[in-house]
Amino acid sequence: MKDKGADLARPAAAGVVVRGLLGSLRLRQWTKNLLVFAGLFFAGRLTDRTLWLPAALAFGAFCLLASAIYLLNDLRDREEDRLHPRKCHRPIAAGLVPPPVALAAAGFLSLAGLFLAFAAGPRVGYLGAGYLALNLAYIIKVKDVALLDIFSVAMGFVLRAVTGVVAVGVELSPWFVLCTVLLSLLLVLGKRRHELVSLAEDATAHRKVLGRYSRLFLDQMISIIATATLVSYSLYTFFSEAGRHHSLMWTIPPVLYGLFRYLYLVYEEGQGGEPEELLLRDPGILGSVLLWVLSILVILYFL
């Protein structure tokens, strides 16, 4: 006689794997890929509908590629994640998603992401492939090398922004690249500091490279990069093509508040572990970002 219990167990187990796989894709972190639209936005070409398709293809490509990287990273770090108070609940570390399933899904997402990238244009495809190669190197080796791990993660943000510019064929401003590099470094440094402080003695068990950083060193680097970010953005509003009439200087106050709010959360509230979550959760940062975007929208598109 057929075992009905076994029949019920199989769909349930499959459902757990599917839900775990979806959780491993970290869909909430796709907000990082909105950087792809930054070049189109700052160039004042957001109303040009002919550019929406390549921008959307680039955005979709980076969403798929990023999720593939998350799967591979969780697969590689599953033993260390089990020692982390929060990351131990990740589906792969918790044993909800078998490693072969995660590996197969990562391969499929990588191919699909590259397909979308090349559909947006050959140069976009090459940048997408470069993003994938950079992150594979990070997972395999670079994440354990002091300083290179920070620059590698930051470069992932820069590639998103540059790809968005290339996809729509607008001019790549060096000020835009510089501000993206500095802000990315600031967010990565804040994340490393949070991990070092919150994990304390268990920090190196979770991430080996944390044993090569001190709290003092990270604090000094954050101070330097935060200052450089503010100065660079201020100069950008005056000397870039987008700020040729100096009107963008009115966007400096929300940027200043957003930076100060982020530093307050890092130093006084012990946050900063997941910058994209702070953006969605903290009303101060979310408000400053929305005000900044609204200010640029008014200045570039209506004044």
Tens of pLDDT, residues 28-78? 889 889 999 998 898 888 889 999 999 999 999 999 999 999 999 999 888
CA pair distance 161, 176, nearest whole angstrom: 9
* 256 CB burial (10 A radius; 0-12, 13-18, 19+): middle
The reported pLDDT for the residue numbered 15 is 81
Cα–Cα nearest to 167, from 55, 28, 292: 55
Domain stop point among 145, 169, 193: 169
The reported pLDDT for the residue numbered 206 is 72
Q: Are residues 160 and 189 in the same domain?
A: no
Q: Are residues 223 and 299 in the same domain?
A: yes
The reported pLDDT for the residue numbered 4 is 42
Q: Are residues 269 and 143 in the same domain?
A: no
CA pair distance 234, 228, nearest whole angstrom: 10
CA pair distance 246, 172, nearest whole angstrom: 19
Q: Are residues 94 and 196 in the same domain?
A: no
The reported pLDDT for the residue numbered 3 is 45
Can you give the residue range of the structural domain that contains 288? 173-303
| DSSP state letters, 243-265 | TTTSGGGGGHHHHHHHHHHHHHH
The reported pLDDT for the residue numbered 300 is 86
Number of folded domains that form the chain: 2
CA pair distance 129, 140, nearest whole angstrom: 16
Domain stop point among 121, 146, 169: 169
Domain stop point among 169, 201, 217: 169
Q: Which residues of the chain have pLDDT under 70?
A: 1-12, 241-245, 273
Residue 75 lies in a domain: yes
Residue 17 lies in a domain: no
The reported pLDDT for the residue numbered 216 is 94
CA pair distance 144, 35, nearest whole angstrom: 27
* 178 CB burial (10 A radius; 0-12, 13-18, 19+): middle
The reported pLDDT for the residue numbered 2 is 44
Mean per-residue pLDDT of the chain = 88
The reported pLDDT for the residue numbered 101 is 92
The reported pLDDT for the residue numbered 203 is 72
The reported pLDDT for the residue numbered 11 is 43
Q: Are residues 118 and 198 in the same domain?
A: no
Q: Are residues 216 and 296 in the same domain?
A: yes
Answer for the pair 74, 82: CB distance below 8 angstroms, yes or no: no
CATH number of the domain where residue 63 is located: 1.10.357.140
CA pair distance 116, 110, nearest whole angstrom: 10
